[in-house]
Amino acid sequence: MPVFEPPYYAAVFTSVRTPGDNGYGVTADRMSELVREIPGFLGEDFAASESGLRITVAYFRHEEGLREWAGNGEHREAQRRGRAEWYESYSLHVAKVERSHGFERGE
């Protein structure tokens, strides 16, 4: 649950999966590994409700990092399989973070 010095970029990806794994898990693990190699990658948050809605937020220092991630070959192949097999629906919101703050109990 990181906070960074603005400005930075956030990619908010919300999704509902199709039933079954169909190779999703292995690819998702690989994508988590791969995104860490993108210059400017800052971190990510992920939550998934039992109801089925999943939210991933990936943070990047610069828009270039985000564009590099969007265009990465392995990632593009994963996106293609996502539309073909893994997702019932999804939304992507690419946003520039202008303000942020964090709270930790006891700080």
Whether residue 23 contacts residue 81, with contact meaning beta carbons closer than 8 Å, is answered with yes
Smallest distance, a second copy to C-beta of residue 7, A: 9
Three-state DSSP state, 16 = strand
Q: What radius of gyration, in Å, describes the C-alpha atoms of the chain?
A: 15
5 binds a second copy, rule: CB under 8 A: no
Task: Count CB atoms within 10 A of the CB of residue 85.
Answer: 13
Q: Rounded to the nearest whole angstrom, what is the least distance from the CB of residue 74 to a second copy in the complex?
A: 19
- Residues in contact with a second copy, total (CB under 8 A)? 40
- From 20, 26, 33, 49, residue interacting with a second copy (rule: CB under 8 A): 49
Candidates 19-27, 32-40, 87-95; binding stretch for a second copy (CB under 8 A): 87-95
Please state, in angstroms and rounded to a whole number, the distance separating the CA atoms of residues 84 and 87: 8
- The correct pick among 29, 46, 64, 80 for binding a second copy (CB under 8 A) is 46
